[in-house]
Amino acid sequence: MQPHVELTGISKRWNDAIGVEGLNLSIDQGSFVALLGPSGCGKSTSLRLLAGLEMPDEGSIIINGRDVTTSAASDRNLSMVFQSYALFPHLSVEENVVFGLKVRRVPKRERMEKMARALTITGLEGLEKRKPGELSGGQRQRVALARAIVAGQKLCLMDEPLSNLDAKLRNSVRKDIKKLQRDLGITVVYVTHDQTEAMSMADKVVLMKDGRLQQVGSPNELYSSPANTFVAGFIGAPPMALIESEVLPEFEDGLTLGLRAEHVSIVPNDTGRLSCEVIESEFVGAETLIGLAHSGTVGVTVLQPGLSLIQPGERVDITFNDRDLHRFNQAGERL
Amino acid sequence: MKSASNLEQRRQSIYGWLMFAPAAVMLSVFAFYPTIATFWSSLFSRGTRRRPSEFIGLENYTDLFADPTFWLVAKNNLLYAGVTIPASIAIALAMALWANSKISARSFVRTAYFTPTVLPMIAAANLWLFFYTPGLGVLDKIGSLFGFESVNWLGQPETALWAIVIVTIWKEAGFFMIFYLAALQTIPEDLKEAADIEGTSRFTYTRRIVLPLLMPTTIFIMVNALINSVKLIDHLFILTKGGPSDASKLLLYYIWEMAFAFFDAPHAAALTILVLAVLCVVAAVQFLYLDRRTHYQ
């Protein structure tokens, strides 16, 4: 099957500062792709390039087999949900939703039908006459969604659409968006800095850093076989611990070893492979995360079931299985 | 318990009165009292040494209505307002839209547009006097290049008021542009992007999104422009002194003339009250009617 979107060698620079560098990405029809990364990694820039709000310096963008690299945003057959929602404050909910249809001169009857359907799907019936200022954050977010789906475009871009919602609402809207995408069979490209969102919603996660791709794959691939130390140290809560191989005598020097918290266990003192100092205990409900410090390691954590706080400063011995270790070379690439 | 809450209430109300007092005092001394005093004096006749001033009711007003100069001046002012207000607002909006877009030398453009506002009106009038002067003026110099005859812009009744109108528009447009520019900067960039994705043309975006969002500013500017169309007469003193044959005379200039050139204070007071009344009615209509149709963020 032909991919819905294909980015080839996309670069965008501002006065020598890198926005995006050499981005290659292919997005399948009907898939949910999350662009993930820390702030300033180029994920929003990538989305804006795809939307046609910015023009790339190099590379090509193909949507539905058509080269749209230099096309205007409106010629790309896509819709977009903005982080701020970008609702027109002086227009009512229904005027906001049909704005694009009106601009595209869709006949009134069809407009009304499409609007009614979009409002039903997003659960906004009864709020048609309200202005955005009279809506709650979650309702505004749904208006933005309704506006994005009303035109029936097959590609929908979302730029951190949940970042202005509180944690509880974010959880439920996350499910709504996922369901919407599946029911409508649309392709969604979703920018987020929240890995929980990316991991829980996406079929494919694209992890970026400093304008460059780090890894593209299913959430499971990123979690269980990170391509480099950045991915290892970014994905997962807590992320993977990174241990210099010099610390463990049984490994050759110059390697970095990755280790997930769930593969670490505490053993009686003087029987473990590493003896660490406890620096913090964080109770999160079902389990307690215990942060450990040892020279040559970053982020070693162990999970203890239930509430089991350990005083900071205490020493504990830990052990782990060699087959649970991820090996990275000096450049940080996975071996 | 009860006395404590009473005390608190008293404290709150004293606090409220204290906040209210400065504005109330200033407005009373400099606005309300002079208005009432003016109204009062407009009901008396002009006192001379032989005939002291006496109460004559509305006679000063009926005198005014019978005075053809009053009607000419009122017509002049109406035309002056009717042209300067929409023209300066439209030009201000156009300049603001341009100065707000991504152009090079943007701050230079903004400064250049704002310069007329910084100039005192008297200085600006002298500048324009140099433009308008027949024979020597810049307009005539340019005209003569193309073989046009010398025109005395300020000296003939047909063009004098229009010459004044142009100076006023030139002076006000830059000032109003600043307000539009400030308002434009509060419109988030992503509204334009959201409209772009739908394929909205620049014109439609401006008409359906930008102009409605600028409405509060437009009302504010309209009220200001209206007040200025009555208030701003400094340039008349330099350019035409209301002439020739009252062709460029405006209401406030006429009031000044009556009061300080002809020393007819009661008639000047009556005319002042009329102007105030008209201004109040128009401002009320603008705020009450247009406000209801305007979106405030």
A195 & A271 share domain:
no
Average pLDDT, chain A: 90
Q: Which of A210, A230, A250 is the last residue of a domain?
A: A230
At A165-209, the pLDDT tens digits run 888 888 888 888 998 899 889 999 999 999 999 999 999 999 999
Question: What does the pLDDT read at residue A157?
Answer: 92
At B269-287, the pLDDT tens digits run 889 999 889 888 887 887 7
Distance CA A304, CA A111 (A): 57
At A31-42, the pLDDT tens digits run 999 999 998 888
Question: What does the pLDDT read at residue B44?
Answer: 85
A194 & A175 share domain:
yes
A72 & A182 share domain:
yes
Does the beta carbon of B271 lie under 8 angstroms from any beta carbon of chain A?
no
Host H or E run for residue A11: strand A5-14
Q: Name the CATH superfamily housing domain B63-292.
A: MetI-like (1.10.3720.10)
Contacts of A100 in chain B (CB under 8 A): 197-200
**The residue type at A241:** A
- Check: CB of residue A53 under 8 Å from CB of residue B196: yes
- Judged by CB atoms closer than 8 Å, whether chains meet at B199 and A100 is answered as yes
A320 & A221 share domain:
no
Determine the distance from the C-alpha atom of residue A80 to the mean position of all C-alpha atoms in its chain, rounded to a whole number: 16
Question: What does the pLDDT read at residue A165?
Answer: 85
Task: Name the residue range of residue A61's domain.
Answer: 5-230
Q: Does pLDDT of A328 surpass 80?
A: yes
A195 & A323 share domain:
no
Residue A190 in any domain: the answer is yes
Residue A335 in any domain: the answer is no
Question: What does the pLDDT read at residue B248?
Answer: 84
Residue of chain B whose Cα is closest to the Cα of A98: B198
DSSP A224-260: HS-SBHHHHHHSTTTT-EEEEGGGSTTS-TT-EEEE-
Q: Does pLDDT of A274 surpass 70?
A: yes
Distance CA B291, CA B285 (A): 9
3-state secondary structure of B247: coil
- Check: CB of residue B264 under 8 Å from CB of residue B284: no
A63 & A178 share domain:
yes
User: B96: distance to nearest CA of chain A, Å?
Assistant: 21
Question: What does the pLDDT read at residue A203?
Answer: 92
Domain boundaries, chain B: 63-292
Burial class (CB in 10 A: 0-12, 13-18, 19+), A322: exposed
Task: Read off the CATH number of the domain in which A249 is found.
Answer: 2.40.50.140
* Cβ contacts of A239 within 8 Å, gap of 6 or more: A232, A233, A299
Tally of domains within chain A: 2
At A232-244, the pLDDT tens digits run 999 988 899 999 9
Task: Mark the ranges of chain B whose per-residue pLDDT is less than 50.
Answer: none
A202 & A291 share domain:
no
Contacts of A151 in chain B (CB under 8 A): 198
* Cβ contacts of A3 within 8 Å, gap of 6 or more: A26, A27, A28, A29
Task: Read off the CATH number of the domain in which A141 is found.
Answer: 3.40.50.300
Higher-pLDDT residue of B48, A248: A248
Q: Phi, psi (5° rounding) for residue A328?
A: -125, 140
Cβ-based neighbour number of residue A186 at 10 Å:
22
Does the beta carbon of A130 lie under 8 angstroms from any beta carbon of chain B?
no
Residue A60 per-residue DSSP state:
E
3-state secondary structure of A217: strand
Q: How far is the CA of A39 from the CAs of A42, A54, A163, A239, in angstroms?
A: 8, 18, 13, 17
ipTM at complex level: 0.81
Higher-pLDDT residue of B133, A291: A291
**The residue type at A240:** M
Question: What does the pLDDT read at residue B202?
Answer: 87
Residue A219 in any domain: the answer is yes
- Judged by CB atoms closer than 8 Å, whether chains meet at B199 and A133 is answered as no
At A139-165, the pLDDT tens digits run 898 899 999 989 888 899 999 988 888
| Cis amide prior to A268 (ω within 30 degrees) | no
Question: What does the pLDDT read at residue B16?
Answer: 92
Burial class (CB in 10 A: 0-12, 13-18, 19+), A101: buried
At A197-211, the pLDDT tens digits run 999 999 999 999 998
A41 & A190 share domain:
yes
Q: Which of B227, B205, B202, B208 is nearest to B286 (CA)?
A: B227
Question: What does the pLDDT read at residue B289?
Answer: 78
Residue A223 in any domain: the answer is yes
A219 & A250 share domain:
no
Q: Does pLDDT of A16 surpass 80?
A: no
